[in-house]
């Protein structure tokens, strides 16, 4: 099955800094989503982005499907950005839309 690798596994930032999180996947996808899991365990959908670029406030994401990677950019980080960021993909030939998750990037933003 498809493999999803996220990097870095852990990241510590000072408030106000920018960061880039990376997601590599091993096969063609029809579905790629980024999620934020906050310290209370809630999973929030940040982006549905199988290709192209999207922006939402201080967050933006780019997926280059032909090169099998996606990037999540966090600008002017805030302490509330802390938590775990997951990338998840769906295989191109699979119509179920089920997602395969990476192991996540754990982000800590210090005040």
Q: How far apart are CA 80 and CA 30, in angstroms?
A: 30
For residues 17 and 60, which CB has a smaller minimum distance to another protein in the complex?
60
Q: How far apart are CA 92 and CA 111, in angstroms?
A: 41
Positions 80 through 109 that interact with another protein (CB under 8 A): 86, 88, 96-104
Does the footprint of another protein cover residue 47 (CB under 8 A)? yes
* Residue pair 87/102 in contact by the 8 Å Cβ criterion: yes
Contact residue for another protein among 35, 61, 81, 83 (CB under 8 A): 35
Peptide bond into 8 cis (omega under 30): yes
Q: Which residues bind another protein (CB under 8 A)?
A: 4, 31, 33, 35, 41-45, 47-48, 86, 88, 96-104
């Amino acid at each position: 099955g498809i493999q999803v690798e996220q990097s870095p596994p852990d990241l510590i930032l000072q408030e106000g800094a920018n960061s880039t999180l990376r997601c590599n996947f091993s096969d063609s996808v029809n579905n790629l989503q980024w999620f934020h899991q906050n310290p209370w365990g809630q999973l929030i959908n940040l982006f549905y982005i199988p290709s192209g670029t999207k922006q939402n406030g201080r967050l933006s994401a780019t997926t280059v499907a032909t090169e099998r990677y996606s990037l999540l950019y966090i600008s002017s980080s805030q302490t509330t950005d802390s938590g775990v960021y997951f990338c998840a993909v769906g295989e191109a030939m699979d119509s179920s839309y089920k997602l395969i998750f990476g192991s996540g990037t754990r982000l800590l933003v210090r005040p």
